[in-house]
Amino acid sequence: MKKIHVAKHSGFCFGVRMAVDKALKEAKKGKNVVMLGDIVHNEHVIRMIEEAGVRVITALDEKNPGTLLLRAHGTIPEVYEEAKKKGYTIVDATCPLVLEIHRRVRMLEEEGYTIVIIGDVGHDEVVGIAGQIKKSIVISQSGEVSKKIPRRLRKIGVVVQSTQNIENAQSIVYELAHKCQELRFFDTICKPTKLYQAEIRIMPKENDVMIIVGSFNSANTKRLTEISRSINPRTYQVESAGDVKPEWFAEAKSIGISAGSSTPDWVIQDVIQQISKIINKPVPLCGMG
Ligand code: SF4
């Protein structure tokens, strides 16, 4: 009998849940509510919010301002200023833990540190953190340290994108310690990320196949997939039930399922249903002769 194990820590984190609740609450008011880009990185959630009446825009419109929802992983200060100037009412859905990273980089800047952000270059959250200060260096892997910091510095202050891989961040911090006289490190990887990653370091050892549910543009889902695949190559990421392939489960006795922090529960449930249907089907016998 094949078994399915679902991660205890998976799906919506509190920051995403708060952002979605704010969006739906504003949508209910029935006014001109817009979001600049995706409020969270999951197409199912965006569709649900759009269906509730919130429009996605790509630029702020002076002629038709309304209520502007700002994304869970933070926004650069210029967007706040432009929105205010153009007459928008701002509803800030930035996760409090991301706001805390903003506060810390501003503080490090005031104290004269060269600021390093450990994170993915170009990711919304990293852009939002870098936007709080005049100058920063973004490093995504330890191999980049010497290239990006060729000379030894006096003081380096470090923060981390909330959804980074803990082990990757540790190896970068280790390299940075050799690059300065004083290192100040704030471990700003959020608690939900740590819990999800701790579980995903165990589950792939205990299951024959791992399925990670979430968008390909979601940083934390990508991270879960990378960690899981490094332990168990039979790891597959799916965005929805339709992506699940029967051949993945050949001879698998147990299947582990985890999901990124922006994946809604109903999508996880659909994937579980789909996998149960596949693995409980009798395997067709091959014809002989
Ligand atoms: S992943 Fe962490 S930082 Fe991002 S929204 Fe969730 S709780 Fe907040």
Distance CA 3, CA 7 (A): 13
Q: How is residue 247 annotated by DSSP? A: G
Distance CA 218, CA 227 (A): 15
Q: Which of 125, 144, 199, 251 is catalytic?
A: 125
125: annotated active-site residue: yes
Compute CA 219 distance to the chain's CA centroid, rounded to the nearest angstrom.
Answer: 4
**Residue of the CA atom closest to atom 6 of ligand 1:** 15
| Ligand 1 center–CA 252 separation, angstroms | 33
**Res 285: pLDDT:** 46
Whether the predicted model's global pTM rises above the 0.85 cut: yes
Please work out whether the CB of residue 13 comes within 6 Å of at least one atom of ligand 1. Answer: yes
**Res 37: pLDDT:** 83
- Give phi and psi for 258, each to the nearest 5: -130, 170
Q: Which atom of ligand 1 is nearest to the CA of 95?
A: 8
**Residue of the CA atom closest to atom 5 of ligand 1:** 15
The SS3 of residue 149 is coil
**Could you give the C-alpha distances from 179 to 110, 154, 176, in angstroms and in order?**
21, 8, 5
Distance CA 88, CA 68 (A): 6
Q: Where are the beta strands (DSSP E) in the chain?
A: 3-6, 33-36, 55-57, 67-70, 89-92, 114-118, 137-139, 153-160, 180-185, 209-213, 235-238, 254-259
Distance CA 244, CA 229 (A): 17
| Total residue length of the chain | 289
Distance CA 32, CA 146 (A): 49
| Ligand 1 center–CA 142 separation, angstroms | 24
- Which long-range contacts link 133-140 to residues 24+ away (Cβ below 8 Å)? 133/105, 133/106, 133/108, 133/109, 134/109, 136/105, 139/172
- Mean pLDDT by runs of 10 across the 289 residues of the chain is 92 95 91 88 93 92 87 93 94 96 98 97 95 97 94 97 94 96 97 96 97 94 96 98 96 95 96 92 45
Of residues 142, 147, 143, 136, the one with CA closest to residue 169: 142
| Ligand 1 center–CA 276 separation, angstroms | 30
Q: Which of 73, 125, 187 to mutate to test the pocket of ligand 1 (most atoms within 8 A of CB)?
A: 73
Q: Which of 10, 12, 16 to mutate to test the pocket of ligand 1 (most atoms within 8 A of CB)?
A: 16
Asked if 263 and 221 touch (Cβ cutoff 8 Å), the reply is: yes
Please work out whether the CB of residue 97 comes within 6 Å of at least one atom of ligand 1. Answer: yes
**Res 252: pLDDT:** 93
| Ligand 1 center–CA 263 separation, angstroms | 12
Q: Which of 100, 163, 190, 258 to mutate to test the pocket of ligand 1 (most atoms within 8 A of CB)?
A: 190
Please work out whether the CB of residue 261 comes within 6 Å of at least one atom of ligand 1. Answer: yes
Compute CA 64 distance to the chain's CA centroid, rounded to the nearest angstrom.
Answer: 31
Please work out whether the CB of residue 98 comes within 6 Å of at least one atom of ligand 1. Answer: yes
* Four-CA torsion 15, 20, 22, 23, nearest 10 degrees: 140
| Ligand 1 center–CA 289 separation, angstroms | 57
